[in-house]
Amino acid sequence: MTAPLLEVRNLDVSVRDKKGREFKIVDNISFDVQPGEVIALIGESGSGKTTISLACMGYTRPGCHIIGGTVQLGGTSVLDLDLPALQDLRGKDITYVAQSAAASFNGAMTIDAQVTEIPVITGTMTRDQALAKAARLYRDLELPEPESIGKRYPHQVSGGQLQRLMAAMAMISDPRLLILDEPTTALDVTTQIEVLYSFKKLIADNETAAIYVTHDLSLVAQVADHILVLKDGKMVEYGPTEQIIRNPQHDYTKALMAAAHLMPEEIHAPPALGAKEPPLLEVRNVTAGYGPAQDIIALRDINLTISAGETVGVIGESGSGKTTLGRLISGLMGAKQGGVYLDGKQLAPSVSQRSREELRQIQFAFQMADVALNPRQRLNKILGRPMMFYRGLSQSEATREVARLLERVDLPTNFAWRFPPELSGGQRQRVNLARALAAEPRLIICDEITSALDTIVAQQILDLLEDLQEELGVSYMFITHDIATVSKISERIAVMRHGRIVAQGPVNEVLTPPCHEYTQVLLNSVPEMRTDWLDEAVAERRRLVAALD
């Protein structure tokens, strides 16, 4: 056995709070990376996975300190290097691919200029050599028009392409170690597998060692040789990929497995609803768009009904118009043609023209709870306001109601006096839901409410949704890009693409073959928990996409 390329031993990182107390966020972590091997760091947000990967470059975020342990890269002790030596190391021997490529590229420079920047300014390659190398990498990453794509600016390529270009930037100086920090999390499911596939190929072709940071166990099974499971900065489980996914030892790993974005074994057939009952909400022949005359069409001929007490899933990639549909129903934008009907009565297109009673019945839950809750309002006000606004409760009645509501979403009642930033991501999402519930609505439009959450927390939110539906009989319109999630909780689903509903019906009918080609593309993108899935899925996806266009 050769000496490992990277050897991390007993790494401790701590952060200091205002009162000067030290708190360990990474506790006694040890692992090896062999040359040409990929190790995955997996855990929820706050588990210290990014902190560890940054520490491997000798870097800590402001406020953090490495207080113990060693990091050896090919015999050099990274943590003992001074800043100039570290600068020499970073970008050349160790490179980093960040989660959001869109935020990491400079919009005012061409892609080529940014990809070739490091080798050119450090003098390891001439500009022409670097450009030639870049073009070769573009081809390896299967980017379209590899000869000319580098002359474009970042906004002229798609998100998935940008993420791959960032990998090209990282690979151009032939690093010994590549760190990938959630490189596909910000991408659409169907794009994700293509990007993952090109990363895998690139790593294998160049025999680079890599650290892959993610929260998604099913994805990591496709690329990693070893998996290190983290929880609260501690090592939970560490072993070869096959062993971890076949035979997880620790309860936490098992929980991660259970919450992974997998298709359920069996799609439950929805209960037959009484056909004579009129639907709660109806969207009839709606066409809508953006721009002064709504001429940039975002929705075309949409027909959708939602009955009382049912969950309708709306799935599609970003840009498919699913969020626009939600905004249209809630009155944030008007339709060009067609209309929205509540109990058979047409709703006014805009919020300001609807009555308070109409507004109360349809509530909207936003995707990002951290920006959807005013950071300067206590929960008592955030939750109490809809009660006072719609139901005419007094302040003291609302305060009592808020306590009951908090209990209902499984939060402690003394949270009423807290501000949103004092809550965790999952707790905030519960508050976000509770605010919608505070109006006692009949329909809640849930816009990607689980996609920003860790898998385990997302599962808890889904469970809560189901409990609430059973108790209160509320309907959900569940907007998401995640077909696995939607198939677990919906009775009926609608698949959207380019502003149209391409398939719609009871969940088992829509998702069981033979189904629409696009539905198949989506289904095919749901990872399966086996190591050979990716290659098959990519081949299948390319065949399907070719048939679709």
Residues that bind other proteins (CB under 8 A): 15-19, 21, 23, 25, 62-63, 330-332, 351-352, 354, 356, 359, 363-364, 366-368, 371-377, 381, 385-386, 389-390, 414, 417, 435, 439
Identify the CA nearest to 339 among candidates 278, 281, 285, 280: 285
E strands, 88-233, are 94-97, 177-181, 209-214, 226-231
In whole angstroms, give the CA distance from residue 346 to residue 281. Answer: 10
In whole angstroms, give the CA distance from residue 441 to residue 433. Answer: 11
Q: Residue 28 is inside which H or E element, if any?
A: strand 22-33
- Report the nearest approach of other proteins to the CB of residue 237 (Å): 25
- Report the nearest approach of other proteins to the CB of residue 17 (Å): 5
Nearer to other proteins, 2 or 23 (CB): 23
- Report the nearest approach of other proteins to the CB of residue 13 (Å): 13
Nearer to other proteins, 15 or 79 (CB): 15
End-to-end distance of the chain based on CA atoms, in angstroms? 50
Cβ atoms of 202 and 140 within 8 Å: the answer is yes
Nearer to other proteins, 63 or 84 (CB): 63
- Report the nearest approach of other proteins to the CB of residue 420 (Å): 9
Nearer to other proteins, 96 or 476 (CB): 476
Nearer to other proteins, 290 or 417 (CB): 417
Nearer to other proteins, 191 or 323 (CB): 323
Residue 457 DSSP one-character state: H
In the chain, count of helices (H) and strands (E)?
22, 20
In whole angstroms, give the CA distance from residue 449 to residue 467. Answer: 16
546 CB neighbour count, 10 Å cutoff: 8
- Report the nearest approach of other proteins to the CB of residue 358 (Å): 9
Sequence letter at residue 140: D
Max CA pair span of the chain: 76
- Report the nearest approach of other proteins to the CB of residue 378 (Å): 8
- Report the nearest approach of other proteins to the CB of residue 357 (Å): 10
Cβ atoms of 12 and 28 within 8 Å: the answer is yes
In whole angstroms, give the CA distance from residue 212 to residue 476. Answer: 36
In whole angstroms, give the CA distance from residue 202 to residue 200. Answer: 5
Nearer to other proteins, 196 or 443 (CB): 443
Nearer to other proteins, 117 or 370 (CB): 370
- Report the nearest approach of other proteins to the CB of residue 373 (Å): 6
